[in-house]
Structure formats: structure tokens, C-alpha cells
Amino acid sequence: MTDNQMKIRVLLADDHAVVRAGIRQFLETAEDIIVEAEADNGETAIRLIGENPPDVAVLDIQMPKMTGIEVTRWVRAHYPTVGILILTAYDEEPYALGVLQAGANGYVLKTAKPLEIIQAVRDVHAGKSVVDAVIAQKLVAHMVHPSSTFVESLSEREMEVLTLVAKGQTNKLIAAQLNISARTVQGHLAHIFDKLQASSRTEAVMRAVSLGWISQDIAATDE
């Protein structure tokens, strides 16, 4: 058995080349880790995972074509033994909840120290769950106040409206496409904002993305 076969084989997926290069550099300072593949979008990530399943997939959440949440769901369905570590800048609990519910083994912020991220890769490979301390505190706080973590599902029509909002369409265009009045669209948006605890169209879309309800590809809203 070669030295590389003894190492933890990692796939690294992030849409920023400079970020990937930095993460790869410090991951490979660890003698027991090797980054075997890189992806700059979700579709490439699942293709590479399908061709050569890694021990651990290190994924960003917001990526083109498929989000980290969508990739996580796909990996869990097709390669359940692959460890999944989310490495992201998003410290909001809806993102963490969405990706952990999708089956990720760990959630670490990019602000973590290199040695902490290296250890997170090792822990995920060992079958442990890893959650950044900042996120863990927020999740615990929401467990104490469960009403704040509960996200009510949107109706089919509300999802249609929100999807069109994510595509950047105005209320008038949405009304015309769905054959309803602009006032009715506004009413649906009010319900959407309330259910997602959002104060703007952009915030509502981003919460839906974090929950895996909408792909980031179509999330191009204009405030």
C-alpha cells in the first residue's frame, strides 16, 4: 500500500480558485491528508465524486449549478460512506440546519484556524460529527427557543411566486405569468416573508436557498 493510499483522500469544492488554493495548501500540510480533486461548482463536484469517491468531500454552500446542500443530498443518496464537511462563510443557523438535515457530517466556518479545519476533516473521516463552536451556540440557543428554528413550509403557489422572485421578476410580471393580480402576488409575498422570517425579497430567497428549496443558480434577485 502506497503512502497516498494511507492518507485521507479529499475532494475540495469551492467556486473561488484563490480560496481553494489556500485551503488545499494548509490541508496538505497535514501528513495524513491529500486533496485528490477540486471542483468549482456543484455539478463538477458530483461528477468527480461519482468517478472516484473521496473519503471526505469538503464543500462550500453557495456554488454555481448545484449548492452544497444539493450536493450533500446527492452524495448521501449515492455514496453514503463519503464524509461531508461543509466549509463556509455563512454563520446563520438556517444554513447550518439545512445542510445538517441534508446529511452533512460537519459544519465549519472559514474563519476557523487551519489546524481546526484539518482536525475537522480527520473527525469527519472517523465518523464523528463536527459543528463550529459559533454555530453550535446558535443551534443550542434555538433549541431553547424552538419557535425561532421552525420554518413553516410554503404552499405550492407561494413556491411558484418565490421561484419567480428568485429569477428577478417583478410583481407585475409574476402576476401576468401566474394569471393572478399584482395585489395577490403581494399577499403571497407577505405570507412568504412571515413564514421565512424575512424582511426583503433577497432575504427570503437566500433563506429558501439555505433550506435547499431553491437552487442558487436561479437566485438572482434584485432588491
Quick: pLDDT tens for 181-215: 999 999 999 988 888 878 888 888 888 877 777 77
Quick: pLDDT tens for 33-75: 999 999 999 999 999 999 999 999 999 988 888 888 889 989 9
What pTM value is reported for the model?
A: 0.65
Helix, strand, coil percentages in the chain from 3-state DSSP, rounded to 5:
55, 15, 35
Residues with Cβ within 8 Å of residue 60, at least 6 apart in sequence? 13, 14, 15, 19, 68, 86, 87, 88
Residue 220's Cβ-count burial label (10 Å; 0-12, 13-18, 19+) is exposed
pLDDT at 61: 87
Question: For residue 130, what are the β-bridge partners?
Answer: 106
pLDDT at 148: 44
All domains in the chain, ordered by first residue? 3-144 (3.40.50.2300), 156-218 (1.10.10.10)
- Going by DSSP bridges, is the β-strand pair 8-13/56-59 parallel, antiparallel, or unpaired? parallel
Quick: pLDDT tens for 3-34: 566 899 999 999 999 999 999 999 999 999 99
> Do residues 94 and 207 make contact, with C-beta atoms less than 8 angstroms apart?
yes
Predicted confidence band of residue 156 (pLDDT cuts 50, 70, 90)? confident
pLDDT at 78: 94
In this structure, what are the phi and psi dihedrals at residue 10, rounded to the nearest 5 degrees? -115, 135
